[in-house]
Amino acid sequence: MTSDSSPPKPSLWRHRDFLLLWSGGAVSDVGTAVSTLVLPLIAVRTLDASVFQVALLTVMIRLPSLVLTLPAGVIVDRVRNRRMLMIWCDVGRMLAVGSIPLATVFGSVTMWQLALAALAIGTFRVFFDVADQSYLPTLLTREQLVDGNGKLRASETLADSLGPSLGAALSGVFGAARAISLDSITYAVSVLTLVLIRTPETGREAVSGAPRVGFRAAMGEGLRFVFGDAILRRIAACTATANLAIGVVTSLEVVFLIRSVHSSPTQIGIVLGLGTLGGFAGSLMAHRLAQRVGTARIMWVALVVPAPLTFLIPLAWSGWGALVYGVGWAAFNASGAVYNTAQISYRQAMCPPELLGRVNASIRWLIWSTVPASALIGGGLATWLGLRPTLWIGATIMALTGMWLVFSPLRGMRDIPIATMRAGTTGAAGAATA
């Protein structure tokens, strides 16, 4: 990584622009998590929506991830100012969400409005997330990426945990339509923090002004880069496999805890809360573990060493034995958080700046491709084999995901290698060929 003569990098707690990016993102993450609960509540309580209509809202939010992720990567790579793209995405989400409480003042909310708002929120989030991951190396050096990504993942995990509870509380006090206005305010805060960032995106003019291939060919360049790199290819396979197993387990966890473990709602809340706590703790520990173990080696070590604890999930029994499930889930989430922080930092550090948006988009598209089928697979296997045997299958897949990386060039590496920056590109992270 850095040479012995290099001066120590300042703490990110004193990095003004990173703190702005982090705080704004954390606030908007809370708002998004609030909307995840409140949007269906409006449909059910205000519009008396059917089960199909409520499910449609979820589809409208998630559909852009499947359809628009790869095109988003091309656009992120072609715009001169990724930060400005993020600002406009936040403005779009602020208006989409803000239209809902506004409609309650001047008229009434309709199902069509909720569906269109959900579609807009999902669309802008796709572009924002790809730009966000591609923008971070502009602010941080490569040596700071693991620390920065760990902090971002920690706040995201905490927001996902607290957001629904906060949404439920606000809905009970103010009503669901007014509660969702909090999400609109959080996007306004994110816009403000992004506007205040001073670090310029050096080199973006040269990238955006370079000769361009066709749009479809540009999307293919990102995929070819991922499949052509032995480490990125295995990272994509590892994460996609983990997402498949996670989908199988989470689709059955509530039913399993109620019917097989006979847990009370309070126990279920504690058990699932342990899982969230594990992910939060893993994100906080990621930077220190990467320093001790190695920024490259930690990717497979984080998944392999705690893997046996995953088998605690199907071993849970009645009463407080349900906590065994929570411990297993917490261990997996913690290891996954460390791994995710390291692998995101790896591709940010090693990918050429002119391809980073498309590479991030390609990996996101590949790793989420297994999610839609995972719940169906879990339900089918549980119907055929039973809940506990299906959880054993899911836990086994979880425990073995690290094998994708053990049998890869990562096994012989301690740290992300120092490579020469490509001619004509600049950036604080020293992005290089892989």
pLDDT at 341 > cutoff 70:
yes
How wide is the angle at C-alpha 180 spanned by C-alphas 175 and 186, nearest 5°?
Answer: 140
Mean pLDDT calculated for residue range 177-192? 90
pLDDT at 358 > cutoff 70:
yes
Query: Do 206 and 424 contact (CB within 8 A), yes or no?
Result: yes
Query: Do 87 and 196 contact (CB within 8 A), yes or no?
Result: no
Ramachandran angles phi, psi of 200, nearest 5°: -75, 150
The pLDDT, as a whole number, for residue 106 is 78
Query: Do 98 and 156 contact (CB within 8 A), yes or no?
Result: no
Mean pLDDT calculated for residue range 256-260? 92
Is the model more confident about 321 or about 418?
A: 321
- pLDDT tens, position by position, 67-88: 999 999 999 999 989 999 999 9
The pLDDT, as a whole number, for residue 420 is 35
Q: How far apart are CA 39 and CA 19, in angstroms?
A: 30
Mean pLDDT calculated for residue range 412-416? 89
* CATH 1.20.1250.20 describes domain 16-194: yes
* CATH 1.20.1250.20 describes domain 215-417: yes
pLDDT at 433 > cutoff 70:
no
pLDDT at 360 > cutoff 90:
yes
The pLDDT, as a whole number, for residue 123 is 95
Mean pLDDT calculated for residue range 85-107? 91
CB-side neighbour CA atoms (13 Å) of 52: 0
pLDDT at 5 > cutoff 60:
no
Confidence of residue 157 (pLDDT cuts 50, 70, 90): confident
pLDDT at 422 > cutoff 50:
no
Query: What pTM value is reported for the model?
Result: 0.84
Strand partners, 432: 421
Average predicted confidence (pLDDT) for the chain: 87
Q: Which residues of 20-38 are buried (b: 16+ CB within 10 A; e: fewer)?
A: bbbebbbbbbbbbbbbbbb
Q: How many other β-carbons are positioned within 10 Å of the β-carbon of residue 306? A: 21
- Same fold flag, 16-194 and 215-417: yes
Domain ranges of the chain: 16-194, 215-417
Is the model more confident about 147 or about 174?
A: 147
Q: What SS3 state is found at 279?
A: helix
Using alpha carbons, list the distances in angstroms from residue 285 to 154, 281, 290, 337, 422: 10, 6, 9, 9, 32
